[in-house]
Amino acid sequence: MKEKIFKRFLKYFLPLLLFIIFSIIATFLPYSGYIILTDFYILLMYYLFILFTFKMDKSSNDSVNQWLDRLDGSEKLCKDLFPSKKKKKVLENLEYVFQRLNEYTNGDKKKLRLLKRYFKTLNNEDAYDLFFKTFLGILVAVVIWGINKGSFRNIASVTDKIVNLDISLTYVSILNILVLIFEGVLFFVILINDYFTNKTRNRILVEIIEVCIEKYEDTEKK
């Protein structure tokens, strides 16, 4: 418990504490306003990163109804199923996966079909992917509109009045643009990561499970 609290302190509060310390030190240095504002924007981008990459802890007490909405657990399932190190030959890896799937399901076609549908569903595009695609498109459109309409200059003017540190509006505008670019890139990276992570693995598992099912169907026909 203490270790968990310490890690959260390092992750969420230490950056803020360092910002306060550096800001105090910066007041004794030349161009203190620029230093403090730059540190503030770095801190802002750090917390944006934490916010966008934050994942809720999955409670073991969740109901099946909640699980059906997330279908989480595939990563742990695959780690438990395939603990062996990678073989040198492709066919050896495929045969190992084939063997482990048969052992896991005890050759039960119903279980194999359930696994197949599960991994197939994980591979399909869902509302989560669509939301990020839509949001990313809107975000890019807003950034382009802002550049064309000069909105960043207005943002810079407001920011400069708040901090009141005798800072060039051009410099504040650059920082605002950098933050928005960072935000857009971050959304794009998250979208790509969420959309493509484990897709190849899930597709090959679906195909190998189909081979397992065909094997038992052929055996029954004989």
DSSP, residue by residue, 26-48 = HTTSTTHHHHHHHHHHHHHHHHH
Residues 34 and 114 in one domain: no
User: What number is the average pLDDT over the span 82-103?
Assistant: 91
> For residue 36, what are the domain limits?
1-57
Residue 191 placed within a domain: yes
Comparing 164 with 95, the larger pLDDT belongs to 95
Shared domain check, 195 and 217: yes
Tell me the average pLDDT across 181-192: 72
Between 15 and 145, the more confident residue is: 15
Q: Are residues 51 and 79 in the same domain?
A: no
* CA distance linking residue 197 with residue 186, whole number of Å: 16
pLDDT one-digit tens code per residue, 144-179: 555 544 544 554 455 554 445 566 777 777 777 777
**Residue 66 resides in a domain:** no
Q: In whole angstroms, what is the distance from residue 78 CA to residue 133 CA?
A: 28
Q: Does residue 152 lie within any of the structural domains?
A: yes
Nearest to 39 by CA among 58, 57, 18, 63: 18
**Does 88 or 153 have the greater pLDDT score?**
88
Q: Please answer whether residues 106 and 206 qualify as being in contact, where contact means their C-beta atoms are separated by less than 8 angstroms.
A: no
110 in the same domain as 7: no
Q: For residues 53 and 76, state if they share a domain.
A: no
Residue 152 has a pLDDT of 46
Whether 62 maps to a domain, the answer reads: no
| CA-based nearest residue to 132, from 22, 53, 216 | 53
Band of pLDDT at residue 142, cut at 50, 70 and 90:
low
- Indicate whether 64 belongs to any domain: no
Same domain for 147 and 172, yes or no, is: yes
Confidence of residue 139 (pLDDT cuts 50, 70, 90): low
Minimal CA–CA distance to 74: which of 189, 201, 210? 201
Looking at the 3D structure of the chain, how many domains does it have? Answer: 2
- On whether the CB atoms of residues 58 and 72 are closer than 8 A, the answer is yes
User: Do 33 and 84 have their domain in common?
Assistant: no
Residue 80 shares a structural domain with residue 52:
no
Whether residue 110 sits in one domain with residue 28: no
Q: For residue 188, tell me if it sits in a domain.
A: yes
Per the prediction, the chain carries an average pLDDT of 75
Q: Round to the nearest angstrom and report the end-to-end CA distance of the chain.
A: 59
Highest mean pLDDT among 1-5, 17-21, 120-124, 187-191: 17-21
Cα 50 to Cα 61: distance, rounded to the nearest angstrom: 26
Residues 28 and 89 in one domain: no
DSSP at 84: S
In a domain, 33, yes or no: yes
Same structural domain, 175 and 131: yes
CA neighbours closer than 13 Å in the CB half-sphere of residue 114: 8
163 assigned to some structural domain: yes
Taken as a whole, the chain contains a residue count of 222
**Whether residue 152 sits in one domain with residue 50:** no
DSSP class of residue 99 equals H
Which residue would you say has higher pLDDT here, 129 or 113?
A: 113
C-alpha radius of gyration, the chain, whole number? 26
Q: What is the pTM of this model?
A: 0.55
Render pLDDT for 32-73 as a digit per residue (tens, 0 to 9): 777 777 888 788 778 777 776 665 555 555 688 877 777 778
Confidence of residue 25 (pLDDT cuts 50, 70, 90): confident
Average pLDDT rounded to a whole number, residues 5-16: 77
